[in-house]
């Protein structure tokens, strides 16, 4: 109302689990002009920095970006059954605490217990850590991983062995250092 410009900066993409849609609705409802600048979602950025493309001609022609924390009105069994049988790659946000349940439900509903899984903790940062396992052992493999972490499920995870790049770089090359005088 005072004619000032305000910038709302979000990490990733504001329309992918960033509540940008809800915020835009409120602005539109109040006739406040706004501009949306898309970003790169962590569901693409974190796997890329771990050497995992979310799609690949030989491994995956489909990807789903989903949350591990589902709405209470949604049937959990149906939700995970659909995902177990559907997209070849799953990028699961906010799922670390639900990892035991997620992996169990995916196997129960048709994903092979040998399906590769990666967790990328603090993806794209100098503190990034990636662990890899399968649906059957990922809970144990990832026991020390905390949020924030992106969970990637699918055959594309196998590519990490060949094209992992970021974590292997010397820190001096990977991260721009700022010097204050």
Write out pLDDT tens, residues 47-78.
Answer: 999 999 999 999 999 999 999 999 999 999 99
The reply to whether 170 falls in a domain is no
Distance CA 101, CA 118 (A): 16
Q: List the beta strands (DSSP E) in the chain.
A: 63-67, 89-93, 116-121, 129-134, 149-153
The reply to whether 154 falls in a domain is yes
- In this structure, are 57 and 11 located in the same domain? no
The reply to whether 2 falls in a domain is no
- In this structure, are 109 and 84 located in the same domain? yes
Environment class of 77 (CB within 10 Å of its CB; exposed 0-12, middle 13-18, buried 19+) = exposed
Q: Which domain holds residue 152?
A: 42-163
The answer to whether 48 touches 167, Cβ cutoff 8 Å, is: no
Cis peptide before 148 (omega within 30 of 0): yes
Please give the tally of structural domains in the chain: 2
Give tens-digit pLDDT for 147-176: 999 999 999 999 999 999 998 887 665 455
Give tens-digit pLDDT for 72-123: 999 999 999 999 999 999 999 999 999 999 999 999 999 999 999 999 999 9
- In this structure, are 34 and 52 located in the same domain? no
The reply to whether 1 falls in a domain is no
Residue with tokens 């995992």, as numbered in its chain: 52
- In this structure, are 47 and 67 located in the same domain? yes
Neighbour order of strands in the sheet with 116-121: 63-67, 89-93, 149-153, 116-121, 129-134
The reply to whether 140 falls in a domain is yes
What CATH number does the domain containing 69 carry?
Answer: 3.30.950.10
């Amino acid at each position: 109302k005072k004619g000032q410009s305000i910038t709302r900066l979000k990490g990733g993409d504001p329309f992918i689990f960033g509540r940008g849609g809800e915020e835009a609705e409120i602005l539109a409802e109040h006739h406040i002009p706004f501009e949306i600048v898309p970003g790169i979602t962590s569901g693409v950025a974190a796997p890329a920095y771990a050497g995992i493309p979310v799609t690949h001609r030989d491994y995956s022609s489909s990807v789903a970006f989903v949350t591990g924390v589902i709405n209470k009105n949604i049937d959990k069994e149906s939700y995970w059954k659909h995902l177990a049988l559907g997209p070849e790659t799953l990028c699961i946000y906010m799922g670390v605490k639900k990892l035991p349940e997620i992996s169990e439900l995916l196997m129960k509903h048709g994903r092979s217990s040998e399906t590769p899984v990666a967790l990328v903790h603090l993806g794209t940062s100098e503190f990034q850590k990636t662990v890899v396992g399968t649906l059957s052992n990922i809970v144990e493999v990832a026991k020390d991983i905390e949020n924030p972490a992106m969970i990637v499920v699918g055959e594309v995870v196998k590519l990490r062995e060949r094209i992992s790049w970021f974590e292997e770089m010397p820190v001096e090359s990977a991260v721009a250092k700022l010097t204050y005088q």
